[in-house]
Amino acid sequence: MFGSGSSTGHDNSGVIPVRFVWPYGGGEVSIFGTFTRWIDLLPLSPVEGCPNVFQIVVSLVPGLHQFKFRVDGQWQVDEQLSFVDGPYGVVNTVVLTKDPPQILNSETPGRSNMELDDVSVCPEVLQGISATELEVSRHRISAFLSTHTAYELLPESGKVIALDVTLPVKQAFHILYEQGIPMAPLWDFCKGQFVGVLTALDFILILRELGTHGSNLTEEELETHTISAWKEGKMHLNRQIDGSGRAYSKHLIHAGPYDSMKDVSLKILQNSVSTVPIIHSASHDGSFPQLLHLASLSGILKCICRYFRHSAGSLPILQQPICSIPLGTWVPKIGEPNRRPFAMLRPNASLGAALSLLAQANVSSIPIVNDNDSLLDVYSRSDITALAKDKAYAQIHLDEISIHQALQLGQNANSSNAFYNGQRCQMCLRTDSLHKVMERLANPGVRRLLIVEAGSKRVEGVISLSDVFRFLLGI
């Protein structure tokens, strides 16, 4: 990997400082190539705060360069970069042109020089793509999604959990916690059909309602309060009424197994939902429906990445760094007008403040940062289900417990829960390629990547699954 460096000690205007980066760990990492006459090995240094990332800045003349990494005595190439067969087997390549476009400014006051790319080419040495190439990429992705169906999203084996609407909400959220799932479809036995979904947002609204003075819902009633009763009350709570003043029910957003992946994607985006149940019925009237799967943008993105894995060259947009394309939500720069505020909270902020943001700001997670805006943790909607264990919600006051305490409570309760396994804070850098961002978002359970500054982990923005699909589909 490589990117523009900020200082090399060379004043020769005919050379270009290039930062080579190896982000895959190791003990000793070095590099050699045409610029060392395939003789000298140049050692890379570990990046402060990123123990698995090594870098070196080399001044190169414009033109084609080939290179190869040596990691702990083994020759390696970075498969995320261009590579060809060379005099030393498979080698990476980079083409430098005079006066490359300076998209990143390493001299911005208060910013770190370590704008590193841990997966792909940095924009200073990457030629921009034309509008035609962008449309070609979008057309090919759209064609793939239009010709492949939701049936292909079904796993070979697995389980799908549905909840009966007569189940008490307290028990329902305990099930979500125990099963490590953020939501579940709702089954109405009397109607013989699926009628909705229960999500972590419902639990957030319930907890806020319990904490409201004059609430019609008490902790005692929560023991027997059914899902259907809550959904009915929620409609009045949200004032979802028609012209006659009566509450109305929203139709369940679902898809069939033979609907195209593009149709499923559009349903998720247009209705601002995270998943769409795939339901099949052999009857023309839709009776005896079968719940086959819960389709998500993550699963669809995984299919896209798998399909184009060996033909990524046909999608020029995939090699573009995320900072060079209109993607995601970024922290506004000082003096930048007309930018939506970026929601972040300190660890000592109250849980009530976090839940209010999650419920009202139309976001699914909030970065938790220190006084320097460096990332410490993330509080997501799904974290709230941990409070269902042992009625923890009844023992706390939302405005008296901090986010830090709530996260500790949740992590202790879920230390053995599969839903919390793995890294909580999924991150990327502004110089990462769109392709690598897509690969990370395609992992199960990952809905967003926080864009951070290398080393300091200062939060710079966030990219969600819906951001990627809106960009890829041009909507």
Q: What percent of the chain has pLDDT over 70?
A: 76
> Is residue 341 scored above 90 in pLDDT?
no
The token pair that represents 167 in the structure block: 């189940």
Could you tell me whether strands 329-330 and 459-464 are parallel, antiparallel, or unpaired per DSSP bridges? antiparallel
pLDDT digits (tens, 9 = 90+) for 143-190: 999 999 999 999 888 788 999 999 988 888 888 888 888 889 999 998
Higher model confidence: residue 367 or residue 52?
367
What is the tens place of the pLDDT at every residue in 18-60? Answer: 888 888 888 899 999 888 888 889 999 887 767 778 888 888 8
Q: How confident is the model at residue 112 (pLDDT cuts 50, 70, 90)?
A: very low
Instruction: Give the tens place of pLDDT for each residue, 223-241.
Output: 677 888 877 776 665 554 3
User: What is the pLDDT averaged over residues 371-399?
Assistant: 80
Q: Rounded to an integer, what distance in angstroms lies between the CA atom of residue 394 and that of residue 407?
A: 17
Q: Once rounded to an integer, what is the mean pLDDT over residues 322-333?
A: 84
What are the C-alpha distances in Å from 196 to residues 146, 212, 227? 26, 26, 10
- Structure-token pair, residue 337: 């007008």
d(CA 18, CA 8): 9
Question: Across residues 432-445, what is the average pLDDT?
Answer: 89
Closest C-alpha among 16, 18, 19, 35 to residue 99: 16
Cβ atoms of residues 115 and 104 within 8 Å:
yes
Q: Name the average pLDDT for the chain.
A: 77
Query: 240-280 pLDDT, tens per residue?
Result: 434 444 444 567 899 999 999 999 999 999 998 889 999 99
How long, in residues, is the chain?
475
Token reading at 126: 């990457």
